[in-house]
Amino acid sequence: MDDRDGFIWLDGKVVPWRDSRMHVLTHALHYGSAVFEGERIYDGRVFRLAAHSQRLINSARLLDYEIPWTRQQIEEATRAVVKANGLQSGYVRPIAWRGSEVMGVSAIGTTVHLAIAPWAQEGRLSVQARDAGINVTMAKYRRPSADFAPGHAKVAGLYLICGIEKDKALKAGFDDALMLDWKGDLAESTGANIFLVIDGTLVTPTPENFLDGITRRAVMSLARKRGWSVEERTVKPQELSRASEVFLCGTAAEIVPVGSVDGHNYQAGPVARTLMADFHKLVRSPDCEGFGESTHLA
C-alpha cells in the first residue's frame, strides 16, 4: 500500500502518498495505541462522516487522549483529501496515534498525530459471493469483557485477536470467523456486526463489549422503517441453527449474507436482500454525511 500515487492528509497538510511516513519508535507501533476509522465514499461523499469522525475522537478519549483537531476540522480534512484524490467511490482510513518522543508503556509526553488516507476500493466481494453468501467458521478467541478492554473504542490493539482469527479462517478456506464474547454469547465477526432472522424477527447481539457499528445502527433503522420487528438481545451461538438468514454488516462489508457457518447452510434470503437494496439507496441520499441514526456518538 505504500508505493503508489495519491495523497494523504497528514497532520494538517495534504502530502504525496509515498511521503507519509512515521518513525519506527512510534508509541502506537509498540503498544497498539492508535485509534482509527473505516469509512466509505459513495458518489463523492463519505457516508456518516460526522458519526465516524466523532467516533474517532471518542475512541481516543477512551484511551485518555485528545486528537488536536475538532470534528468539523476532521470532516473538512476528509473532504479535502477525498477531492485531492479525485475519488467518487472508495474507502477512507483516518488514524490517530501517539508519536515517538518517548519510548515506554506510558504515552505521556508523546505528540498525537492524525492521518487520513482515502483510496479507490469497490466492495471486496464479487457479485457471485454476495449472492451465495460468505462461508464463516467459529473463532477460538473471544471478545474481552468491558472490564478487560475498552471494547467500544476502535483501537488498533484490540484488532490483534481479530487479525489472528481472520488469517486462520482464510487459511482454512473460509471468508471470515464469528467471535463469541467472554461469556460465550455471539458477538460479531472479525470486522463486522451480525444479524440473524429468527421466526421472522431481526435479532442482533447487544453491543455491550464490542463495536456498536454505524452500519448496524443504519440496518436497524431501515428494518424498523419497513415495520419489521428488531430485537437487540443476548444471542446464544446455538441460535444460529434456528435462524433462517444470517448476515454481517459493516463499512467495508456493507451488508453481506452468510452462506454457511461451519458447514451449516443458509440462503441469502429476502430480509438481507431487501436491506441491501434499502442500504444502497440510503448511502447515496443527499444527507448521508451526517450522524443519521448514530446520534449516540455525538
Cβ-based nearer residue to ligand PMP, 7 or 74 = 74
The least distance separating ligand PMP from the CB of residue 149, rounded to whole angstroms, comes to 12
> Cα Rg for the chain, rounded, in angstroms?
19
Nearest CA to 154 out of 64, 67, 60, 29 is that of 60
Contact between 210 and 201 (Cβ < 8 Å): no
**Type of residue at 78:** T
* DSSP character string of 95-154: EEEE-SSS-SS--TTPPEEEEEEEE----SS-HHHHHH-EEEEE-SS-BPPTTTS-TTS-
| Nearest distance in Å: CB 129, ligand PMP | 18
CB nearest ligand PMP: which residue?
213
- Would you call 154 a catalytic residue per the annotation? yes
Identity of the residue, 110 or 152, whose beta carbon is nearer to ligand PMP in the bound complex:
152
Q: How far apart are CA 97 and CA 112, in angstroms?
A: 6
Locate 87 and state its grid cell: 475519488
CB nearer ligand PMP, residue 85 or residue 193: 193
Which residue's CB is nearer to ligand PMP, number 185 or number 188? 188
- CA-nearest of 122, 58, 9 to 291 is 58
- Which one from 140, 154, 171, 183 is the annotated catalytic residue? 154
Choose between 7 and 165: whose C-beta lies nearer to ligand PMP: 165
CB 84 within 8 A of CB 116: no
Least separation, in Å, of the C-beta of 24 and ligand PMP?
Answer: 26
- Interface positions with ligand PMP (CB under 6 A): 38, 162, 188, 191-193, 211, 213-216, 250-251
Cα diameter, the chain: 56
Beta-carbon contacts of residue 283 (< 8 Å; ≥ 6 apart): 40, 42, 47
Closest approach of ligand PMP to the CB of residue 179, in Å:
8
What's the CA gap between 50 and 223, in Å, rounded? 22
Residue 13 CB neighbours (<10 A): 11
CB of 280 to ligand PMP, least distance (A): 15
Cβ 226 vs Cβ 278: under 8 Å: yes
CB of 206 vs ligand PMP, minimal distance in Å: 14
- Quote the CA–CA distance of 88 and 8 in Å, as a whole number: 16
Pick between residue 214 and residue 235 the one whose CB is nearest to ligand PMP: 214
What cell was used for 144? Answer: 474481552
Distance CA 96, CA 147 (A): 24
Which residues form the catalytic set?
154
